[in-house]
């Protein structure tokens, strides 16, 4: 139903971030209230802008698949004010294709997607298994308890990404540090700026090295097979870094936590490892770690699902809300590893759908299975109420996960 601008202004809500007490895996309750009213509702942005919030599964797919909802940075704003989510409208480096629309976006996607096909990703399985086993050897030999985020969930995606980009061993620690600073709630603006500059410097050095001596990794291949400029390669490598690290890290840690908090589901998985792929899908749906965005800006005035969208309106899709839509999933708030559906939007949808989804799925299934097999008696090393959560971050998760075995 089309509401007048005035009534939209009156009914606009702020973007909710507080998770319900008791269940750290459920999205903030106001999302369900908004969705019951309408899958697309008025949203008040922190600077007063009146935009939209999308909470329904079908509407989320429709917005993300409609290029009239642009991914360009101009006019974009975050629905919450958190460090690291400030979206700058300044010129971004060429090659940051996540912030582009077709046809420019399509051009980069085509050049890159062949490195992320199912076939290509399957070839990585033995290497990922090897890296996982090595990390678990170190974890086990420490005797425990350990913080699983630091010991396992952070280093595994870092090792995989480093291998994809050809990052030398000695650069991995400083690289990880700068990425941490960029994503940390406690970093100051200056610290972030400094890490951004240092990270760009390291990536430039990596690109120069790949041009001189191209390796078999993605960067090496791109320098040989394409005409991409250094600036474009900088943008691409930045996107790959930002997109693939935090998300996978927090899925690994939060997913393990969710399994430990649902012992009957964990027991079912331990009893039948062939449920692993379904369990990964259900964890992706149930946890939906990308909790702020995707964000789009209406590129023109148009009618969408009976509502008048105005050019410049900022639309935030809530993936956690869409993935708990009762119209899309039966009993959506129940965590059920036998649900057997891939219809969720944890990886987004449409032209910008996650390019690394095969890789992420592989890392998660190898990661969870190897961890759970290695430690048959894995358990929390602190009471559950002492495990914090990352509510004010783009990627939801647990800052620490102390475990013993
Ligand atoms: C569980 C882990 C992951 C989750 C939940 C996730 C989620 C997402 C989501 C929701 C988007 C859509 C953004 C939008 O529509 O604006 C996205 C895009 C993207 N992801 Fe992932 N991601 C994960 C892992 C990865 C990995 C491992 C990589 C590979 C290095 C990767 C690479 C990308 C890229 C390149 C894009 C941008 C695609 C484009 O704009 O065309 N992601 N991801």
- What are 255-296's pLDDT values in tens digits? 999 999 999 999 999 999 999 999 999 999 999 999 998 999
Q: Strand, coil or helix: what is 85?
A: coil
- Contact by Cβ (8 Å): 204, 150: no
Average pLDDT over the chain reads: 92
Cα–Cα dist 50/30, whole Å? 18
Which residues form the domain of 353?
Answer: 5-404
Burial class (CB in 10 A: 0-12, 13-18, 19+), 215: middle
Question: Which atom belonging to ligand 1 lies closest to the Cα atom of 288?
Answer: 5
CA of 105 to the centre of ligand 1 (A): 14
Ligand 1 pocket, residue 218 CB under 6 Å: no
Cα–Cα dist 77/185, whole Å? 18
Q: Which residues, in sequence order, are CB contacts of 181 under 8 Å at separation 6+?
A: 187, 191, 192, 194, 195
Ligand 1 pocket, residue 244 CB under 6 Å: yes
Ligand 1 pocket, residue 38 CB under 6 Å: no
Tokens 């129940």 belong to residue: 334
- Contact by Cβ (8 Å): 363, 128: yes
Average the pLDDT over 320-343 and give the result. 95
Res 55: pLDDT = 97
Distance from CA of residue 231 to its chain's centroid? 24
Average the pLDDT over 62-83 and give the result. 90
Q: Does 187 have pLDDT greater than 90?
A: no
Tell me which residue has its CA closest to atom 19 in ligand 1: 354
Cα–Cα dist 293/317, whole Å? 5
Of 348, 354, 360, 363, best ligand 1 pocket probe by most atoms within 8 Å of the beta carbon: 354
Q: Does 326 have pLDDT greater than 90?
A: yes
Res 3: pLDDT = 66
Find the helix or strand (DSSP H, E) in which 54 lies: strand 50-54
Res 90: pLDDT = 54
Res 86: pLDDT = 52
Cis peptide before 397 (omega within 30 of 0): no
Res 83: pLDDT = 58
Average the pLDDT over 106-132 and give the result. 94
Q: Does 243 have pLDDT greater than 80?
A: yes
pLDDT single digits (tens) 10-55: 789 999 988 988 889 999 999 999 999 999 999 999 999 999 999 9
Question: Which atom belonging to ligand 1 lies closest to the Cα atom of 353?
Answer: 12
Q: Does 98 have pLDDT greater than 60?
A: yes
- Within 10 angstroms of residue 221's Cβ, the number of other Cβ atoms is 17
Distance from CA of residue 118 to its chain's centroid? 19
Q: Does 217 have pLDDT greater than 60?
A: yes
Q: Does 89 have pLDDT greater than 50?
A: no
Res 168: pLDDT = 85
Cα–Cα dist 162/189, whole Å? 26
Count structural domains, the chain: 1
Give pairs for 89-92: CB < 8 Å, separation 24+.
92/235
Average the pLDDT over 187-207 and give the result. 88
Res 152: pLDDT = 97
Distance from CA of residue 318 to its chain's centroid? 12
Question: Which atom belonging to ligand 1 lies closest to the Cα atom of 348?
Answer: 10
- Pull the structure tokens for residue 75: 């006019």
CA of 132 to the centre of ligand 1 (A): 21
β-bridge mates for residue 307, sequence order: 304
Provide the CATH number for the domain around residue 212.
Answer: 1.10.630.10
């Amino acid at each position: 139903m089309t509401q007048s601008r005035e009534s939209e202004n009156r009914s606009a809500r702020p973007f909710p971030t507080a998770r319900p007490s008791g269940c750290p895996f459920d999205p903030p309750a106001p999302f369900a209230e908004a969705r019951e009213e309408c899958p697309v509702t008025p949203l008040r942005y922190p600077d007063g802008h009146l935009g939209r919030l999308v909470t329904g599964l079908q509407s989320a797919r429709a917005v993300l698949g409609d290029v009239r909802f642009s991914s360009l940075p101009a006019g974009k704003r975050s629905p919450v004010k958190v460090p690291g989510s400030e979206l700058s409208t300044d010129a971004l480096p060429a090659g940051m294709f996540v912030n582009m629309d077709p046809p420019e976006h399509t051009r980069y996607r085509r050049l890159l997607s062949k490195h992320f096909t199912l076939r290509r990703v399957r070839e990585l399985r033995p290497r990922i298994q090897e890296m996982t086993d090595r990390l678990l050897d170190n974890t086990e030999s420490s005797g425990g308890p350990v913080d699983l985020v630091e010991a396992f969930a952070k280093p595994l995606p870092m090792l995989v990404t480093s291998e994809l980009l050809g990052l030398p061993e000695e650069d991995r620690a400083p690289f990880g540090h700068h990425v941490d600073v960029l994503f940390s709630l406690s970093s100051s603006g200056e610290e972030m700026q400094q890490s951004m500059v240092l990270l760009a410097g390291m990536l430039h050095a990596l690109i120069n090295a790949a041009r001189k001596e191209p390796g078999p990794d993605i960067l090496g291949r791109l320098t040989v097979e394409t005409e991409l400029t250094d600036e474009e390669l900088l943008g691409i490598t930045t996107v790959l870094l930002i997109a693939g690290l935090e998300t996978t890290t927090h899925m690994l840690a939060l997913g393990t936590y969710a399994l430990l908090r649902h012992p009957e589901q964990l027991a079912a998985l331990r009893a039948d490892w062939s449920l692993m792929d379904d369990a990964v899908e259900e964890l992706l749906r149930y946890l939906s770690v990308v909790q702020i965005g995707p964000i789009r800006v209406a590129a023109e005035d148009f009618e969408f699902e009976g509502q008048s969208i105005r050019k410049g309106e900022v639309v935030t899709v809530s993936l956690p809300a869409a993935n708990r839509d009762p119209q899309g999933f039966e009993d959506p708030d129940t965590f059920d590893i036998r649900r057997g559906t891939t219809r969720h939007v944890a990886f987004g949808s449409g032209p910008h759908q996650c390019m690394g989804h095969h890789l992420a799925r592989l890392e998660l299934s190898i990661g969870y299975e190897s961890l759970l097999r290695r430690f048959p008696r894995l358990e929390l090393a602190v009471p559950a109420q002492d495990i914090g959560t990352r509510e004010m971050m783009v990627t939801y998760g647990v800052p620490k996960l102390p475990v013993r075995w």
